[in-house]
Chains A and B, each alone.
Chain A
């Protein structure tokens, strides 16, 4: 690594951004192109290359062995954590772009679609690397703006447009809240770089202003991660958006929100030195409990599968929040809890993306969205239904799938760090979730189709993406050690 300039550590972000630009170029050469194979192929290759670069960096210890690499006057940082999260985003993007090849069949403006996905992904990768509140703001918007457009991509569809508008309005509001929070923190500390903020805060001046700022910053993250009380947009947006976009938003975008939240709160507002008046852990404990409970209860009452998944995605945000909620000043297992949360997001990237891609497939077949519409689907498409069953059971945390380990590690580490009640609430929610996840499985396998179902074509891309996600979900059980070890190691360095 020594011979390469330092900025090359940002290779994954750059690859994503350049691929987005290349797509625009292709599109501008032939504006009316519907050569979706070319567009999907280029985006998948770009995302895969970014994933490969990330994996290579993780494996060779870039930003980890010799300490984090700080770039551009400390505004960006490349370390194990940013790479770990970039791995999540890029693997989700690979699946989403493969699946979009079929989903977008016959739609116009495909070039724009793929380039927006890649721009959003580069924004997310930047979010994971942000080391200054200003960079957080910029990268957050870079990730959000394409997302608004993507949600409204089906512009002939009222639901899609309405969802995009809702998403945009709430996004704009929370961006304002977040920005105001940042400015308050700046007012109290005189800095935007995380480390300097932390140092200034430990002085104990302007605790009131800083506290308000921290709270508002937390609100901004609650929006991005679809946590209560800024979760209202999520069911609408996920339901209205094209299903691959829902997959992208609920897996990658959410993980990006957590990436920044983890780094900001652990590095800029460290528990060890922050004044006592700013007890953000309490805020996250409330957020975690309310988010997981509300998400799961709401999911249990849905009739529409896509909406159910949207609410369950809120529930999972609640689980991931345990990573922040179960921290304590000097807690012996702080790094392990945070790492377990990151590992859960990694597994979640596969199982949740897969679940939404299955819905994309169903939408492609034109079947319908309620549980009843899924009746008897297994007789028509057994392989896809096996994959969906894997996702459902994995999301519920049942063995032998990846979600089992990621959930149990999360709960177990929370107990280890002294928060057994958080783990207990999480486990109870998990049991509840089995109820609605198994409804999907039951509809697909047990019920007889209510009418003759003709599925038509077998979308190759969607099948490929679905299999990728399913195999990933299954293999993440035996293959969990490297994920959790990497996650806990890189999370541990934040507390060092």
Chain B
């Protein structure tokens, strides 16, 4: 019942925050958001799942199934539970939401109660996305995340916020529709082999090869078409090149705490869904088209990094580097080895923390300087030493320095990719080698930007007093940094439960 309690509590908390007076809303929302944090940590401490939630022999933790309704003979139910893949993401969601709420205290100065209400509303739906095991339930949460995001960007964003909000909404909503059709085609193609939309049922029936023909498409074509539809739908969310263009707009216009949630958690919805749907349900297709997927992954890594290199806006730099980092996740998934897929899942958490840290740090600087342009500032280290130190630490994490979460994640992914045999003749190793160049570019643009903004003589043309950030701006950064180092020093915190859930996924195809 703990999952239901968490989701329900967060919904109620959202309502409470919405009606709180503006001056209390920030503090109130933070206090309320601590309950899900404690809840998710409790779940972690009591976690006893084994295997993968979707596959044969998998045992989820905190599972609940309540029949909900019938759709043309298919059972739809309230079906939630967590396994080793979803639990880390649940913890990430609750922790990052709390920190994002704190980081919103300074920049959000109007309509606070609405802002914090929407943040909590989004958290509740995100928790639903990562715990739902019935397709309809999952899809409801998946789509419902868009609604608060749309408002958060559109109301509190920068000058082009309306454009960015609409673009975000239209892109991701259209993608969801295509994905929805793809999945429905699979379920209908399964015919009588499944009588529900429960993801485990569908996954196991598909793995058992029970897919039939549907509207004139034979099973193998249907598989490919559905895979493509779902891949496209999730790729927009991730996002991968060339369907990434909504992301920089959304990020740049969104206020800092919303960027944190967007990069930290929302992008993970896409990779999480890719893993759950495409790579778990249709492994043969994934392997068959591995070269294409790997090429897209490499393209995202390199192109995203090059785009970041070309930016002048600190926030844009971090935004584009997300495209790059998520490319690694795709690469790890397509490797289809324990280290690859496990590393990809680990990277979801690691990138959530690191990108959250980066966005927050850039936000803290922006709060005092009111600019994000690399060319406008110099020598920030003199005035904001603590923030500078944390920002640099975060940048090191992004570059993948050892003992940071990013290093562990990338190391797992590359190890897995080099071991991979999905492309004949060790072909994936070539793709991986190419992708690793991304690290060089990342180091390049981050160091370059840091050097120009943080060091040297202080110069900033502004009327504002530039000084140390208030404690409540810096503390979330410190918490994130501690998490990043903890995961880097001891990846086992999550990695063993991740591999436990990942192993069955790859066991099916490539022994």
Contacts and interface: CB of A to CB of B under 8 A. Distances in A.
Contact of A445 (B18, B151, B181): B151
A137 interface: no
A84 to B, nearest CB: 17
Contacts of A41: none
A275 B169 CA distance: 49
Interface in B296-341: none
Contacts of B169: 434, 438
B144 A400 contact: yes
Contacts of B114: 378, 382
A404 interface: yes
Interface stretch (B154-162, B449-457, B462-470): B154-162
B34 interface: no
B30 to A, nearest CB: 21
Given A399-B144, A431-B174, A431-B177, A485 B70 contact: yes
A398 B72 contact: no
Interface in A337-384: 378-379, 382
A399 B154 contact: no
A412 B161 contact: no
A420 B154 CA distance: 36
Interface string A418-456: 001000000100010011001001100111000000000
Contact of A412 (B71, B146, B154, B166): B71
B140 A446 contact: no
B188 interface: yes
B96 to A, nearest CB: 22
Contacts of B174: 431
Contact of B140 (A399, A441, A445, A484): A399
Given A400-B140, A412-B72, A434 B173 contact: yes
A149 B334 CA distance: 67
A420 B185 CA distance: 11
Given A434-B173, A442-B154, A446-B165, A481 B139 contact: no
B140 A379 contact: no
A85 interface: no
B161 A446 contact: yes
Given A427-B177, A442-B166, A446-B155, A333 B139 contact: no
Contact of A420 (B150, B162, B215): B215
A236 interface: no
Interface in B39-75: 68-72
B510 interface: no
B23 interface: no
Interface string B342-368: 000000000000000000000000000
Interface hub of A400, A413, A435 (most chain B Cβ within 10 A)? A400
A379 B114 CA distance: 10
B143 interface: yes
A43 interface: no
Interface residues of B, number: 33
Contacts of A398: 143-144, 146-147, 173
Nearest to A484: B69
Contacts of B166: 438, 442
Contacts of A446: 154-155, 161-162, 165
A480 B69 contact: yes
Given A399-B139, A420-B215, A413 B72 contact: yes
B111 interface: yes
A400 B166 CA distance: 19
A333 B245 CA distance: 42
Interface in A398-414: 398-400, 404-405, 408-409, 412-413
Task: Classify chain A: how many residues form its interface, as a range.
Answer: 35 or more
A427 B73 CA distance: 21
A141 interface: no
Interface in B105-155: 111, 114, 125, 139-141, 143-144, 146-147, 150-151, 154-155
Nearest to A480: B69
Interface in B172-188: 173-174, 177, 181, 184, 188
A396 to B, nearest CB: 9
Question: Per DSSP, are chain A's interface residues mostly helix, strand or loop, or mixed?
Answer: helix
A415 B188 contact: yes
A441 B69 CA distance: 31
Interface string B437-477: 00000000000000000000000000000000000000000
Contacts of B161: 446
B8 to A, nearest CB: 12
A393 interface: yes
Contacts of A393: 147
Given A427-B177, A445-B155, A446-B155, A399 B69 contact: no
A486 to B, nearest CB: 12
A59 B70 CA distance: 19
Given A382-B114, A393-B147, A399-B139, A442 B162 contact: yes
Nearest to B113: A382
Contacts of B143: 398-400, 404
Contacts of A435: 170
B72 A379 contact: no
Nearest to A488: B70
A221 B151 CA distance: 40
B79 to A, nearest CB: 14
Contact of B69 (A333, A378, A438, A485): A485
Contacts of B165: 442, 446
Nearest to A404: B140
Contacts of B141: 399-400
A477 interface: yes
Contacts of B69: 405, 480-481, 484-485
Contacts of B71: 408-409, 412
Interface in B1-56: 18
B215 A333 contact: no
A199 interface: no
Nearest to B215: A420
A379 B68 contact: no
Nearest to A434: B173
A355 to B, nearest CB: 17
A90 interface: no
A196 interface: no
B216 to A, nearest CB: 11
A408 B70 CA distance: 12
Contacts of A441: 150
Interface in B372-390: none
B78 to A, nearest CB: 9
Given A398-B144, A399-B141, A446-B154, 6 more contacts: A398-B147, A399-B144, A404-B143, A442-B166, A445-B154, A477-B140
Q: 6 tightest CB-CB pairs across the interface, nearest first?
A: A481-B69, A399-B140, A446-B154, A400-B144, A399-B143, A416-B72
